[in-house]
Copies of this chain bind each other. A is one copy, B any other.
């Protein structure tokens, strides 16, 4: 038994709760007073910085959705790098939500891109469509103990039915085949907490399957999107956790835009903090009841 990055994430959840703050920051989310006198990329960074300052003692980790930054080109990716740098400076765990999926030399390049250098993160998300050789090139980094991945497994969008939910001829759905394969691959990277550094992205909206998935993949740490804005509730999420750990629950717009509900633009970061606490406590309560 040795220590992996997943142990650090597990500890954070124990201490701070399961909330993963999603920095999917679109320019239109940023209040006017922050935008004033700043370029779009600077405004986005400043917004992120204040959200981070305000939530970093109560967030398990931060998930940064690179698409929002890519959309602003080189300037946007500069804001992305600055956000990652700031999170690292504050000793926060970073999940880079990049959903890259490629093989061989190309995957090695993505590993280099997102596990070192300008865009270094602690965890990255991956898409497994091309097969397990789209995950393997990242394993040497996991071996170091400092890095981890989350493979897409089963998501909560409507289109999940198109491929992830297809029934295969050996009595498993496609997403179950994926889950089986990454579980097997993850066995070599199980940390002291009992979870492996190869996690899975598991949407939380198919409530009826929650307990089954949790039981079947007990060594898999879940990255659970879809809370709040996408419809997931605390009661649903609780089913995907083991006594309130074994996963982190992401909310992006629900946290970043909490200020809009009460028209408190000047206090956007305080509103974000209140929302994280509300979400954390709602899930804690739901776990107790479950």
A68 CB within 8 Å of chain B: yes
Contacts of A70 in B (CB 8 A): 109-110, 113-114, 119
B104, B110, B152, B163: the one contacting A178 at CB < 8 Å is: B163
A99 CB within 8 Å of chain B: yes
Main secondary structure of the interface of A (DSSP, over half): helix
Interface pair B163/A128, CB less than 8 Å apart: yes
Enumerate A149-181 residues with CB–CB distance to B below 8 Å. 152, 155, 157-164, 166-169, 174, 177-178, 181
Interface pair B71/A109, CB less than 8 Å apart: yes
Interface pair B77/A74, CB less than 8 Å apart: yes
Shortest A114–chain B CB gap in Å is: 8
Shortest A70–chain B CB gap in Å is: 4
The residue on B at minimum CB distance from A65 is: B106
Shortest A96–chain B CB gap in Å is: 11
Give 23 pairs: A residue, B residue, CB < 8 Å, sorted on A. Answer: A65-B106, A67-B100, A68-B109, A70-B119, A73-B81, A73-B117, A74-B81, A76-B113, A99-B101, A101-B101, A101-B127, A103-B159, A128-B163, A129-B152, A129-B164, A130-B152, A130-B164, A131-B155, A131-B164, A134-B159, A163-B178, A166-B166, A169-B169
B71, B113, B174: the one contacting A113 at CB < 8 Å is: B71
Per assembly, the copies of the chain total 2
A106 to B25, CA, bound (A): 11
Interface pair B71/A132, CB less than 8 Å apart: no
Q: Which of A129, A167, A177 neighbours the largest number of chain B CB atoms within 10 Å of its CB?
A: A129
The residue on B at minimum CB distance from A159 is: B131
A113 to B69, CA, bound (A): 8
Contacts of A113 in B (CB 8 A): 67, 70-73, 76
Contacts of A112 in B (CB 8 A): 71
The residue on B at minimum CB distance from A81 is: B74
Contacts of A122 in B (CB 8 A): none
Report A91-131 CB contacts with B as 1/0, cut-off 8 Å: 00000000111111111011011100111000000011111
Interface pair A74/B129, CB less than 8 Å apart: no
Known: A26-B105, A70-B109, A127-B129. 9 other contacts (CB 8 A): A65-B109, A74-B77, A130-B157, A130-B159, A130-B163, A130-B164, A133-B159, A163-B177, A166-B166
A112 to B26, CA, bound (A): 12
Contacts of A181 in B (CB 8 A): 162
A107 to B159, CA, bound (A): 13
Contacts of A109 in B (CB 8 A): 26, 65, 67-68, 70-71
Interface pair B110/A131, CB less than 8 Å apart: no
Contacts of A236 in B (CB 8 A): none
